């Protein structure tokens, strides 16, 4: 069996070592394609591989067509909007993610982003504290829940909304207030931490109306996906409300324009760094390798997302 680890944004060396060891024990061959700049490099590298580990790398129908022997793709991470699930299914290729494995890194960054914006992007001037403020968690999955628990430890009030979790006990056991609509969530939140995936339903779903319903001085924190933001609506909200702020780990298409127009009320990291910790790389990378071995040897499809 030949496995390709294709990471435009490479894993930490320790994670790569661990991945190699797992495949060596299984008797599988591993090849690495890191920091590639051209899709053609990926198309050439997938030609004879049985398994593929990726991060945010795009696995399109074209890539799947080129990968004649491919049996499984594991997205080492949570979001799998970068993989054409239907095309994979049509070709009998199993797609998995590694849920929860990089969540702590992303949750820590979300909290860091709240502090960064509260302290004037670490420039001189009077800032404000997180203590006593309300953070809204939009989608209470692995990352959202960790942001909520960590925010509670900082003395914040935590409210959450998740359209797929109706059982109030899920929130109650964490001491988190469940709200019943997205409108209520934004209206209550001094900080809103986004954890929704990019789907046909969520794309451009966060815009002017929700943002302008937030309390005075509110900050939207995006460690999820840029596609969920309606950027024109965001721009309009920031223009009309000089108190609103937006910080994101996924550069918007309008990044330069927003940076120019809104100064310290807008910040985007240069490259998505939520999961850029050695720990997250090791957790997600090794889990991906184990899932590939377990699928190829035992047929385990527990984490399959294109059933
Ligand atoms: C995820 O969906 O797991 C995160 O967005 C991390 O993405 P990355 O592996 O490209 O850093």
Residues 119 and 227 in one domain: yes
Q: Tell me whether residue 280 is in a domain.
A: yes
Question: Measured from the CB, is residue 55 less than 6 Å from ligand 1?
Answer: yes
| Neighbour-count burial of 246, counting CB atoms closer than 10 A to its CB (0-12 exposed, 13-18 middle, 19+ buried) | buried
Can you give the pLDDT at residue 153?
A: 98
Exposed, middle or buried: residue 181 (CB in 10 Å: 0-12, 13-18, 19+)? exposed
Do the domain assignments include residue 306?
A: no
* 107 and 154 assigned to the same domain: yes
Instruction: Give 239 Cα–ligand 1 centroid separation in angstroms.
Output: 30
Residue 127 Cα to ligand 1 middle (Å): 30
Q: What is the pLDDT of residue 207?
A: 98
CA of 78 to the centre of ligand 1 (A): 6
Could you give the residue ranges of the DSSP H alpha helices within the chain? 13-26, 39-45, 61-66, 85-90, 103-118, 142-153, 168-172, 182-188, 208-212, 231-240, 255-262, 278-298
In a domain, 31, yes or no: yes
In a domain, 303, yes or no: no
Residue with tokens 């339903």: 201
Contact 287 CB / ligand 1 (< 6 Å): no
Tell me if 193 is assigned to some domain: yes
Burial class from Cβ neighbours inside 10 Å (0-12, 13-18, 19+) for residue 240 reads exposed
Say if ligand 1 is within 6 A of residue 141 CB.
Answer: no
275: Cβ below 6 Å to ligand 1? yes
- Interatomic CA distance for residues 96 and 289, integer angstroms: 11
Asked if residue 58 has its Cβ within 6 Å of ligand 1, the reply is: no
Do residues 121 and 260 both lie within one domain? yes
What region does 217 belong to: left with phi over 0, alpha with psi -120 to 50, or beta? left
Quote the pLDDT of residue 206: 98
Which residue of 198, 274, 276, 285 sits with most ligand 1 atoms within 8 Å of its CB, as the best mutation to test the pocket? 274
Atom in ligand 1 nearest the alpha carbon of residue 275? 11
The CA angle 99-141-279, to the nearest 5 degrees, is: 45
From first to last of its 307 residues, the chain has per-residue pLDDT tens of 999 999 999 999 999 999 999 999 999 999 999 999 999 999 999 999 999 999 999 999 999 999 999 999 999 999 999 999 999 999 999 999 999 999 999 999 999 999 999 999 999 999 999 999 999 999 999 999 999 999 999 999 999 999 999 999 999 999 999 999 999 999 999 999 999 999 999 999 999 999 999 999 999 999 999 999 999 999 999 999 999 999 999 999 999 999 999 999 999 999 999 999 999 999 999 999 999 999 999 999 999 999 9
At 108 the pLDDT is 99
* Residue identifier of the C-alpha nearest atom 11 of ligand 1: 275
- 226 Cβ inside 6 Å of ligand 1: no
**So what's the pLDDT on residue 68?**
98
45 and 88 fall within a common domain: yes
Residue 304 lies in a domain: no
Same domain for 56 and 117, yes or no, is: no
Q: Are residues 32 and 134 in the same domain?
A: no
Q: CATH number of the domain that 72 lies in? A: 3.40.50.720
124 and 236 within one domain:
yes
Q: For residue 89, which of 117, 70, 114 has the smallest C-alpha distance? A: 70
Q: Are residues 96 and 181 in the same domain?
A: no
pLDDT at 238: 98
Is residue 289 situated within a structural domain? yes
Whether residue 39 sits in one domain with residue 111:
no
Flag whether 237 is in a domain: yes
Domain residues for the domain of 30 are 2-101+276-298
The verdict on 79 and 179 lying in the same domain is: no
For residue 161, what are the β-bridge partners? Answer: 138
Strand partners, 245: 219
Q: What is residue 272's predicted lDDT score, i.e. its pLDDT?
A: 98
Please give the tally of structural domains in the chain: 2
Tell whether 89 and 232 lie within a shared domain: no
Listed in sequence order, the residues at least 6 apart from 145 whose beta carbon sits closer than 8 Å to its beta carbon are 137, 174
| 34/133 same-domain check | no
195 in ligand 1 pocket by Cβ < 6 Å? no
């Amino acid at each position: 069996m030949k496995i390709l680890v294709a990471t435009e944004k490479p894993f930490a060396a320790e994670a790569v070592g661990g991945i190699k060891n797992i495949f060596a024990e299984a008797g599988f061959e591993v090849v690495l394609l890191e920091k590639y700049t051209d899709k053609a490099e990926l198309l050439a590298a997938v030609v004879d591989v049985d398994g593929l580990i990726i991060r945010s790398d795009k696995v399109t129908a074209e890539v799947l067509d080129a990968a004649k022997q491919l049996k499984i793709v594991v997205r080492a991470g949570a979001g799998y909007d970068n993989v054409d699930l239907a095309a994979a299914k049509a070709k009998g290729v199993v797609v998995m993610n590694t849920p929860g494995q990089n969540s702590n890194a992303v949750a820590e960054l979300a909290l860091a982003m709240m502090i960064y914006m509260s302290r004037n992007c670490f420039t001189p001037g009077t800032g404000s504290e997180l203590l006593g403020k309300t953070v809204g968690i939009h989608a209470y999955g692995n990352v959202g829940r960790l942001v909520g628990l960590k925010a509670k430890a900082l003395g914040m009030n935590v409210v959450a909304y998740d359209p797929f979790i109706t059982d109030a006990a899920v929130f109650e056991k964490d001491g988190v207030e469940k709200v019943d609509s997205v409108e209520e969530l934004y209206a209550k939140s001094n900080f809103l931490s986004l954890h929704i995936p990019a789907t046909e339903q969520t794309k451009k779903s966060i815009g002017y109306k929700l943002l302008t319903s937030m309390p005075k001085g509110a900050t939207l924190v995006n460690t999820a996906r840029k596609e969920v933001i309606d950027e024109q609506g965001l721009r309009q909200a920031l223009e009309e409300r000089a108190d609103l702020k937006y910080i994101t780990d996924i550069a918007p298409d309008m990044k330069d324009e927003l940076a120019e127009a809104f100064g310290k009320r807008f910040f985007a990291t240069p490259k998505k760094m939520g999961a850029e910790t050695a720990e997250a790389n090791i957790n997600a990378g090794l889990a991906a390798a184990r899932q590939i071995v377990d699928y190829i040897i035992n047929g385990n499809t527990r984490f399959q997302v294109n059933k």
